[in-house]
Amino acid sequence: MTTTSPYDVQPGDRVHRRDPVVVDRHSSFVRVNHWTTVITMLLLWASGFALFHPSLYFLAGLFGSGENAREWHPWLGLVLFVAFYGLFFRFWRACLFAGEDSRWLAGLPKVMAGGDEERLPEVGRFNAGQKMFFWIMAIMVIIMLVTGLAMWDQYFYDYTTIEQKRIMVLIHSVVAVLVVCGVIVHVSMVIWERGTLQAMTRGYVTGGWAWKHHRKWLRELVTGGRVGP
Amino acid sequence: MTNSWTDIKNTDLVVIMGGNAAEAHPCGFKWVTEAKANRGAKLIVVDPRFTRSAAVADYYAPIRQGTDIAFLLGVMNYCIANNKVQWEYVKAFTNAPYIIKEGFGYQDGLFTGYDEAKRDYNKSTWDYELGADGYVKSDIDHPRSVWNLMKKHVSVYTPEMVERICGTPKDKFLKVAEMISECSSPTKTMTSMYALGWTQHSKGSQNIRCMAMLQLILGNIGVRGGGMNALRGHSNIQGLTDLGLMSNLLPGYLTIPNEKEATLDVYMSTRGFKPLRPNQMSYWQNYKKFFVSFQKAMWGSAATPENNFAYDYLPKLDVPSYDVLRVFELMHQGKVNGYFCQGFNPLLSAPNRKKLTAALSKLKYLVVMDPLQTETARFWQNHGEYNEVNSGSIQTEVIELPTTCFAEDEGSLTNSGRWLQWHWAGGTPPGEAKHDSWIMSQIHLRLKALYQKEGGAFSDPILKLDWRYKDPGSPTSEELAKEVNGYATEDITDPNDATKVVLAKGKQVVSFAVLRDDGKTACGCWIYSGSFNEAGNNMARRSTNDPDSTGAYPTWAWSWPVNRRILYNRASADINGKPWDDSRKLLWWDGSKWTGYDVPDILPTAKPDVVGPFIMNPEGTARLFTRGLMRDGPFPAHYEPFEAPVVNVLAPKIRGNPVARVFKGDMEQFGDAKEFPYAATSYRLTEHFHFWTKHAHNPAVMQPEFFVEIGEELAKQKGITGGGWVRVWSKRGSVKAKAVVTKRIKPLQCDGKTVHIVGIPLHWGFMGETKKGFGPNSLTPYVGDANIETPEYKAFLVDIESITGPTA
Amino acid sequence: MANFEFVLPPAPTTNIKVAFGEGDLVARSASSVPPPAKQLTPVAKLIDVSKCIGCKACEVACLEWNNLRHPIGINTGSYNIPPDLDPNIFTVMRFTEWVNPETKNLEWLIRKDGCMHCVDPGCLKACPAPGAIVQYSNGIVDFDHEKCIGCGYCVRGCPFNIPRISRNADQPKAYKCTLCSDRVAVGQGPACAKSCPTHAIVFGTKDEMKKHAEGRIKDLKSRGFSNAGLYDPPGVGGTHVMYVLAHADKPEIYAGLPKDPKISTVVEIWKGLFKYAGFIAIGGLAAVSVLHQVIAGPNRVSRADEDNAKRLAGSDKK
């Protein structure tokens, strides 16, 4: 039995009546996509930070030489862009803000400090924090792409003035740092919310996890008939 | 040059007119910057274009090309009117006081004696009035004195007239005239640096004469920092003229006999050079010594007193000269079978390329000796629009003989300042390249062998040519240089003691002072005598020693004549032998002889108030009035170029120079201002050296593509944009070029008409590394200077339009 | 003792300790160097724009000495050929047709453009590759192509728009004038100075060059150029390539020579303040995250949550 799915339900999402209940959260395609993004980003960091500060220049060694780091970095950037936007087009609807998001955000600080999550409104597939991370990353990836292309002298030298090049490189570094900050928060939340990581490793979470953090989504799956053995 | 490059540092005022020293002679131009930096000298540039010389000038004045005489006579008029004349100098050292024959006159642009049909003058009145003693009458106040005639002649060239003819705004002309006139002071000197901007006109010789006259009335000839300084266009073009590589010259400015001079006696009868004033040296009286020594160098023991030193072996001219225009005219008429083209690229460098191509196509054979693959060697090859010929219809056999370039050979180069500088090979010749001397020796030896084997009419000049080289097939530069210097062919004894040998047979002569007309000396080029004597190869000297920093550098290389650095240097001192300027002493009379920093250009014991400084002239003085020595007048007069945007305002009926030679059919090929409204000129760029550098990568990078330069006003009128394509055409041809639109070329107002100038640089062709292009000589007229036939490359008419460029 | 070639008076003859190397570095990109044991005499190239005739001999000499092969270009409507610096040409003439508003006279300004060898080099500041850009105590700023990674940061750092990246090469690298460090190290002046026919380019110690410039400026002032002066811009701590300008009050008329060049504020922020700010932000946030984990403890899913899920999913009814 199927009905029209709510906007934030992904095609592969499914509740399995096991003990404990298992909920399919990320398809293998999404996981591959995500980890591609992660690996690309780590490589970008290594090559980028090698050029960011002399104390990190050793990171260029991962690529064999500074020249290789410089040469790979923009290509990796393109890979990241494609990978990230693979995720983006999959999840952008799910990340549209909903009514409960502002109330969720308002209550967040107390929860972060160790308070009871039951005080927060029920949220869908993604909570407001995740949505914010999603959209901020989406913007920052675009900024990194544009400023990155402007720095890619092999192909785009002639399109900018020297002064623009200077501004571009500054923006690229500032946003790079912001991306790192965003990712730190992202990873730190994954670690803090036990049971989250397996959504990206094995593709499913427990029903309890879904009940606790994304109850609205769980309800949508159940009421939507996405339930199986 | 009367002076030398290094001497320019001594000047107070540099006038660059008829040249573009900074661009065409950048290395020599360093001496201008030295004069500016160390003496505070000023630099004036007068040119149709604001050139790179103008970029570093103190004052720039524009001028329409081909009107230099009007400008310079205007300056003379200014100097005379404002009494800016070095009177002591003029009275003592020039022919200003001499009286000219009755009957001499000038009217409507013509001097007395013009024959329109012959395009020539009867010059009988263009001479001095001689006294009963056979000497020239002298009285500066006489109404027919050179001075008074000259004063009257220049009086028409007022500042207003100069502006009308030249387009030079009156205020700019006056500023230049004022700056120049200041150099009439005995303690201020001006130097004239000129080049092909003056020679390449139908009155080129008179352009130069005009400045020489100005320099004389300012007292600037023979002094440090003064002089008439021709900037020669090639590192050895001075050597070329010195060694007589002109069709009518022998080495050392001796002349080839004409066919009327069938015997040595007849030849010598017009070369006596009897002094025209008492006690003058008239040094050409030694002509016979130089001539006989030359004959001995040519034919050695075959030149004897009995056979008039082989006078008959010399070719005799049936025309005044076989100049480049005449040769290609004859070739065009089908009268030339073969042509040897040695280090010359006439397809690009002679005027009216269409005519050149047609002429070369009529040859049976063409031999090109050159280090590079010249356009001339490939005149038959179709290169699309850049050389549109039908190869199949050309029957000329072309033989290319690759030669070495200067850097692969040893020898001397004579620079503009008459310095013979020895150089050594810096590399070995590539491929099959051979020295020119090897090639020519081989041709000679093979011809000789053919004559010996087969005989032939009058083979003696070839069979008996003196060929005293260790390896007859390849004379060395040293051997040739020693022969040019001269040597004793027999023991020469003391005239007072016949047992005392002063110069043993085979020894090098010390200088031309010891040359003889009895056949006991041989000398290839008398003016070079002393360059390689028993003291060794003086041309190889490299001492930078320069006592008191006069700029003479007397022990650097060797300067002709007899290592003299400044010609007419006796004129640097007054009539009593006292230097005009104590701070710039050059030569002075110490009571018994001449002494100083340079080799005196006078007999060292010649008393200062008796013997004049211009020792080559029978007068002993310099000529403001040249008598009959120039075909187009004893004074310069303004004539328009054959193709001029305006008529001659002084003589509206006269087109061009009235005595310049125009071949049949070429007059019809001149365009007029109605059809071709723009005044074009041609020139070289500093990035280039002749037709060579387009074959060398790095210089080719610097100016890769043919362009023409026009002013912003003309560009606007014609819708031409910088970097866009234009077509420029004259009556004789058409070229396509990139346009450079510049503020450096401005329209001039001449006789009420706006004259736009089109600049067309010369260099590009269809061979080499640069982009293929055209040159100005597809457009230039086929006419030359009235005296020496240098073509009128500098002033002609064109039209211009914007076009869409080639699609490639 | 250096034997700087035969230069005519008044270009100074000079006495410079020439041989220099690693031990004479005062700055090294993306790394530090120990202070050199000795201070070399600062050298300088002086370009007298008022003497320059734009003959491009220096360009050709530079190509020859550096063994560069520049492609044959085209004419784009001016004498500025090649039109710009690039990896195959380290110096170009820039021609400007300028009408002096005071005299109404045309002046053809010809400036030889190339590396200025700043005392405070923006390229070196921006360079991320250790040792790719070095500065010797004689003032020469040189690129080490073994270490250069071709990132183009020097292009952004330079206030004079000088370095160029060989973009089409297999391995891009940054190129610019070396002040002929290889020639100077053996007692010869730069190739451009050697080839300059009018001695518009002279080379010697910086003090001598300044003194020489004084004489030139005096001469120019005597010719009516009352604003003649030396271009040795203090904003970059001075330069080891200096100009004598007839209009030193308006350097920008010489094809955009910057009036008061200094390392761009953007570059200063990027390479200065932001380096620290970035580390602080990342480090701080990471620390806060760890602290949060420790203090707040892990957020675990409880048995009750699982039961609730079961109930919701209906699997408890099975």
Q: Which residues of B414-423 are buried (b: 16+ CB within 10 A; e: fewer)?
A: bbbbbbbbbb
Please identify among residues 80-109 of chain A the ones whose CB lies closer than 8 Å to any CB of chain C: none
- Do residues A162 and C161 lie in contact, with contact meaning Cβ atoms separated by under 8 Å? yes
pLDDT, position C170: 82
Judge whether C3 lies within some domain.
Answer: no
Residues C47 and C149 in one domain: yes
Q: Are residues C210 and C311 in the same domain?
A: no
Q: Give the distance, in angstroms, between the CA of residue B90 and the centroid of all CA atoms in the same chain.
A: 25
CA B806, distance to chain mean position in Å, is: 39
Degrees, nearest 5: CA angle C187-C193-C198? 135
Segment 22-81 of chain A within 8 Å of chain C by CB? 23, 50-54, 57, 60, 65-67, 69-71
Give the whole-angstrom CA distance, residue A156 versus residue A57.
Answer: 25
CB-CB contact of B529 with B485 (8 Å): yes
Lookup: tokens for B272? 């006596």
Check whether C103 has a pLDDT greater than 90: yes
CB contacts, 8 Å: A20 with chain C: 306, 309-310
C313, A169: Cβ pair inside 8 Å?
no
Structural tokens at position B733: 């041809």
CA separation (Å) from B78 to B97, B160, B626?
20, 12, 22
Architecture (CATH level 2) of domain B667-803: Beta Barrel (2.40)
DSSP string, A90-120: HHTTTTS--THHHHHHHHHHHHHTT--GGGS
A110 touches chain C (CB under 8 A): no
In a domain, C11, yes or no: no
Tell me which residue in C59, C73, C78 faces B722 most closely, judged by beta carbons.
C78
Do B and A count as touching (3 or more CB pairs closer than 8 A)?
Answer: no
Mutation target vs A (from C124, C295, C301; most A CBs, 10 A cutoff): C301
Say if A163 is an interface residue toward chain C (CB within 8 Å): yes
Does residue C241 contact residue C45 with C-beta atoms inside 8 Å?
yes
- Which has more confidence, A118 or C247? C247
β A227-228/A14-16 pair status: parallel
Q: Are residues C157 and C208 in the same domain?
A: yes
β-strands B492-494, B497-503 pairing: antiparallel
Q: What is the pLDDT of residue C18?
A: 65
In a domain, C6, yes or no: no
Q: Does C8 touch chain B (CB under 8 A)?
A: yes
The residue range of the domain holding C275 is 269-317
Residue B771 to residue C52, Cβ atoms within 8 A: no
Closest partner CB to C77 (pick from B33, B703, B739): B739
Same domain as C286, residue C155: no
Is B687 in Cβ contact with C55 (below 8 Å)? yes
| Cβ pair A54:C128 closer than 8 A | yes
Bridge partners of A12? none
Phi, psi (degrees; rounded to nearest 5) at B760: -130, 100
- Shared-domain flag, residues C302 and C196: no
- Same domain? C256 vs C273: no
Given an 8 Å threshold on Cβ–Cβ distance, is B33 in contact with C9? no
Q: Are residues C214 and C257 in the same domain?
A: yes
- Which residue, B408, B400, B453, is CA-closest to B430? B408
Per-residue pLDDT tens for B185-206? 999 999 999 999 999 999 999 9
Is the CB of residue A120 less than 8 Å away from at least one CB of chain C? Answer: no
DSSP string, chain A: ---PPPTT--TT-EEE--SS-EEE-S-HHHHHHHHHHHHHHHHHHHHHHHHH-GGGGGGGGGGSSHHHHHHHHHHHHHHHHHHHHHHHHHHTTTTS--THHHHHHHHHHHHHTT--GGGSPP--SS-HHHHHHHHHHHHHHHHHHHHHHHH-HHHHGGGS-HHHHHHHHHHHHHHHHHHHHHHHHHHHHHHHBTTSHHHHHTSEEEHHHHHHH-HHHHHHHHHTT-EE-
Shortest CA distance from C285: residue in chain A: A181
Residues C185 and C286 in one domain: no
Nearest to C266 among A170, A184, A222 (CB): A170
- Chain C residues whose CB is inside 8 A of the B26 CB are 53, 55, 57, 197-198
- Residue among B38, B687, B769 whose CB faces C72 most closely: B769
CB of A156 less than 8 A from some CB of C: no
Q: Neighbours of C (≥3 Cβ pairs closer than 8 A)?
A: A, B
Supply the mean pLDDT for chain B. Answer: 96
Give the pTM: 0.92
Cite the active site residues of A: 186
From first CA to last CA, the distance across chain C in angstroms is 100
What residues does C243 pair with on adjacent strands?
A: C47, C231
On whether any CB of chain A is under 8 Å from the CB of C84, the answer is no
Chain A residues close to C167, C-beta within 8 Å: 153-155, 157
Minimal Cβ distance to C306: which of A21, A151, A222: A21
Query: In one letter, which amino acid is B410?
Result: E
Tell me the residues of chain C between 3 and 62 that have a Cβ less than 8 Å away from chain A. Answer: 30-31
The domain total for chain C is: 2
Indicate the DSSP class of residue B593: S
Give chain B positions within 8 Å (CB) of C200. 33
Q: Give residue C17's pLDDT.
A: 56
Task: Judge: A210–C153 Cβ closer than 8 Å, yes or no.
Answer: no
Q: What is the pLDDT of residue C317?
A: 60
C201: closest chain B residue by CA = B30
Q: Which residues contact C83 (CB under 8 A, 6 or more apart)?
A: C73, C76, C92
Q: Which residues of C touch A162 (CB under 8 A)?
A: 155-156, 158, 161
Taking the CA atoms of residue B259, residue B128, residue B207 and residue B584 in that order, the dihedral angle to the nearest 10 degrees is 120
All residues of chain A having their beta carbon less than 8 Å from the beta carbon of residue C267 are: 166, 170
Residue B301 phi/psi, 5-degree rounding, is -70, -15
For residue C46, tell me if it sits in a domain: yes
Domain ranges of chain B: 6-94+154-233, 239-314+474-538, 324-442, 667-803
Q: Which of B37, B55, B697 has its CB closest to that of C110?
A: B55
Cβ-Cβ contacts under 8 Å, C97 against chain B: 742-744
Shared domain for C197 and C285, answered yes or no, is no
**What residues of chain B score a pLDDT lower than 50?**
none
| Facing residue for A21 by CB, picked from C269, C292, C310 | C310
Closest chain C residue to the Cα of A65, Cα to Cα: C149
Task: Give the pLDDT confidence score for residue C16 in this predicted structure.
Answer: 58
Question: Count of CB atoms within 10 A of residue B191's CB?
Answer: 31
Query: Which residue of chain A comes nearest to C276, CA vs CA?
Result: A53
pLDDT tens digits for range C67-84: 999 999 999 999 999 999
Residues A211, C309: C-beta atoms closer than 8 Å: yes
Sheet holding A14-16, edge to edge: A204-206, A22-24, A14-16, A227-228
Amino acid (1-letter code) at residue C238: G
Residues C175 and C296 in one domain: no
Q: Looking at CA atoms only, how far is residue B105 from chain C in angstroms?
A: 43
Q: Is the pLDDT of residue C12 over 70?
A: no
C147 exposed, middle or buried (CB, 10 Å; 0-12, 13-18, 19+)? buried
Residue B144, helix vs strand vs coil: coil
- CB-CB neighbors (< 8 A) of C193 in chain B: none
CATH (domain of C100): 3.30.70.20
Of A67, A181, A207, Cβ closest to residue C281: A181
pLDDT greater than 60 at residue C7: no
Portion of chain C with pLDDT greater than 70, in percent: 93
- Which tokens in the block code for residue B801? 């339009």
For chain A, list residues with pLDDT below 70: 1-5
Residue B742 sits at the vertex; the CA angle it makes with C100 and B783, to the nearest 5 degrees, is 125
The whole-angstrom separation of Cα C92 and Cα C83 is 8
C97 and C61 together in one domain: yes
CA–CA distances in Å: residue B203 to residues A32, A182, B163: 89, 85, 20
Instruction: Look at residue C91 and tell me if it is in a domain.
Output: yes
What phi and psi values does residue C122 have, to the nearest 5 degrees? -65, -30
Three-state secondary structure along C111-166? EEECCCCECCCHHHHHCCCCCCEEEECCCCEEECCCCCCCCCHHHHHCCCCCCEEC
Instruction: Tell which CATH classification among 3.20.20.150, 3.40.50.720, 3.40.50.740, 2.60.40.2480 matches the domain B324-442.
Output: 3.40.50.740
Q: Is C61 among the domain residues?
A: yes
User: Strand, helix or coil at B735?
Assistant: strand
Residues C303 and C211 in one domain: no
Residue C4 in any domain: the answer is no
C-alpha span between B483 and B251 (Å, rounded): 12
Helices B170-181 + B68-81 axis angle, to 10: 60
Mean pLDDT of chain C: 91
Distance, in Å, from the CA atom of C45 to the CA atom of C11, rounded to the nearest integer, reads 11
Chain B interface, mutation test: which of C198, C214, C225, C245, most B Cβ atoms within 10 Å? C198
Q: CB distance from C100 to chain B under 8 Å?
A: no
Q: Cβ neighbours of residue B498 under 8 Å, at least 6 residues apart?
A: none
pLDDT at A176: 96
* Paired tokens of C72: 């044959």
C315 touches chain A (CB under 8 A): yes
So what's the pLDDT on residue A5?
61
Residue C231 · residue C248 · CB < 8 Å: yes
Radius of gyration of chain A (CA): 20
Counted across chains B and C, CB pairs separated by less than 8 A come out at 129
Q: Does the structural domain B6-94+154-233 have CATH classification 3.40.630.30?
A: no
Counting one residue from chain A and one from chain C, the pairs whose CB atoms sit within 8 A come to: 177
**C79 found inside a domain:** yes
- Side-chain half-sphere CA neighbours of B217 within 13 A: 30
At C316 the pLDDT is 66
Chain C residues within 8 A of A112 when measuring between CB atoms: 292, 296
pLDDT of residue B807: 59
